[in-house]
């Protein structure tokens, strides 16, 4: 039986990983307050006692806007915490899989970002995640760093759930239409991570999101279309707006589609983002 430690197990991705281990794998989930990954001593002690073969780090400071005014906390978790885990994994001979983000890029490209394209984050969150990637790769020779994007699930708070709620509460929704990326279901990412481990993927940086591309406006419209037949009242219409009309503390990349060619060569092609979106929206509507 292969033992896998999942940190951040109460988050969107951690929940889906904990639910979906392949046959022959058992997961051990930890999150705050049991294990704070910023505490290097506690991390070392935990790994030395559990001795997993693999550590998947889903723990992160993910509040992109709050990070702008709370940089110390973002760096402590996303840079220092990730490195603590990588050092401890190396010490016990475990492989670490670390999750990173499309926000390491500045969005100036207009074709999908390759894993070795030069990163240039626009904000504190992206910078802290980039330094986390580098710390992990430095500390753990066998590490897999998997960048993903626009994650959502039936759990926690995310754009899909927020849109579904607001379109039933507000008269109109105004959604940014000039930022392009790829919505990614946490279920899809969990499946991809298990497949990369099963494939014994060579160490390095990988990109994974669902397939295709969309703006936040496209995603909101897709959620509305899926929900429409199930709602008693007509959901609010959605109006496309420009980034400049929706100012936020953190700047976001205008384009952050990830090139998945190398990942797909190892684990097979992914699904278009609309397929898992339908599953999640249907599950959310059924649970009402
Ligand atoms: N969400 C996205 O759109 C997105 C996009 C691209 C990449 N990613 C990356 O994907 C990964 C998973 O994201 P997610 O959406 O699943 O995140 P999430 O739902 O925010 O979950 C992160 C988990 O980590 C925990 N955590 C925070 N600080 C910790 C610490 N010091 N020690 C231990 N655990 C801690 C959080 O606890 P609290 O809730 O109590 O803080 C939470 O349970 C992250 O690496 C993230 O950067 C996410």
Q: Is the CB of 136 under 6 A from ligand 1?
A: no
Q: Is the per-residue pLDDT at 288 higher than 90?
A: no
Matching residue, tokens 């475990």: 94
- If you measure from the C-alpha of residue 11 to the centroid of ligand 1, how many angstroms do you get, rounded to a whole number? 6
CA angle 187, 95, 136 (to 5 degrees): 90
Mention every residue, 6+ apart, whose C-beta is less than 8 A from residue 125. Answer: 61, 62, 63, 64, 67, 74, 78, 101, 103, 250
Mention every residue, 6+ apart, whose C-beta is less than 8 A from residue 40. Answer: 80, 84, 87, 88
- If you measure from the C-alpha of residue 13 to the centroid of ligand 1, how many angstroms do you get, rounded to a whole number? 8
Entry field: residues in the chain: 288
**Residue 125 known to be catalytic:** yes
User: Under a CB-based contact definition with an 8 Å cutoff, are residues 216 and 175 in contact?
Assistant: yes
User: Crossing angle for the helix pair 82-92 and 124-139, nearest 10 degrees?
Assistant: 10
CA proximity to 147, closest of 122, 175, 177, 182: 182
Q: Is the CB of 58 under 6 A from ligand 1?
A: yes
Q: Is the per-residue pLDDT at 39 higher than 90?
A: yes
Residue-wise pLDDT for 150-201, tens only, equals 999 999 999 999 999 999 999 999 999 999 999 999 999 999 999 999 999 9
Residue-wise pLDDT for 238-285, tens only, equals 999 999 999 999 999 999 999 999 999 999 999 999 999 999 999 999
Return d(Cα 39, Cα 28) in angstroms, integer.
19
pLDDT at 45: 98
Q: Which helix (H) or strand (E) holds 96?
A: strand 95-101
User: Under a CB-based contact definition with an 8 Å cutoff, are residues 242 and 177 in contact?
Assistant: yes
pLDDT category at 232 given cuts 50, 70, 90 is confident
- Can you tell me which atom of ligand 1 is nearest the CA of 156? 19
Structural domains for the chain: 2-156+182-212+255-271 (3.40.50.720)
């Amino acid at each position: 039986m292969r033992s896998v430690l999942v940190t951040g197990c109460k988050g969107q991705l951690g929940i889906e990983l904990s639910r979906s281990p392949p046959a022959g794998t058992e997961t051990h989930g930890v999150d705050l307050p049991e294990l704070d990954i910023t505490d290097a001593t506690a991390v070392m002690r935990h790994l030395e006692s559990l001795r997993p073969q693999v550590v998947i780090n889903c723990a992160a400071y993910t509040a992109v806007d709050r990070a702008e005014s709370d940089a110390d906390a973002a760096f402590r978790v996303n840079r220092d915490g990730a490195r603590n885990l990588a050092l401890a994994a190396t010490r016990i001979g475990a492989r670490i899989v670390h999750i990173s983000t499309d926000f390491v890029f500045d969005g100036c490209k207009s074709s999908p970002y390759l894993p070795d394209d030069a990163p240039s984050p626009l904000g504190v969150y992206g910078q802290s995640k980039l330094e986390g990637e580098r710390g992990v790769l430095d500390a753990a020779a066998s590490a897999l760093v998997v960048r993903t994007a626009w994650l959502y699930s039936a759990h926690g708070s995310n754009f899909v759930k927020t849109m579904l709620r607001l379109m039933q509460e507000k008269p109109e929704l105004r959604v940014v239409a000039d930022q392009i990326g790829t919505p990614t279901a946490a279920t899809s990412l969990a499946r991809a991570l298990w497949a990369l481990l099963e494939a014994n993927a060579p160490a390095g940086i990988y990109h994974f999101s669902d397939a295709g591309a969309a703006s936040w406006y496209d995603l909101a419209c897709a959620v509305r279309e899926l929900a429409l037949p199930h709602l008693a009242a007509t959901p609010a219409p959605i109006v496309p707006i420009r980034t400049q009309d929706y100012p936020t503390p953190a700047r976001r990349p205008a384009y952050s589609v990830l090139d998945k060619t190398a990942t797909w060569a190892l684990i097979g092609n992914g699904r278009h983002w609309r397929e898992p979106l339908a599953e999640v929206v249907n599950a959310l509507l059924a649970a009402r």
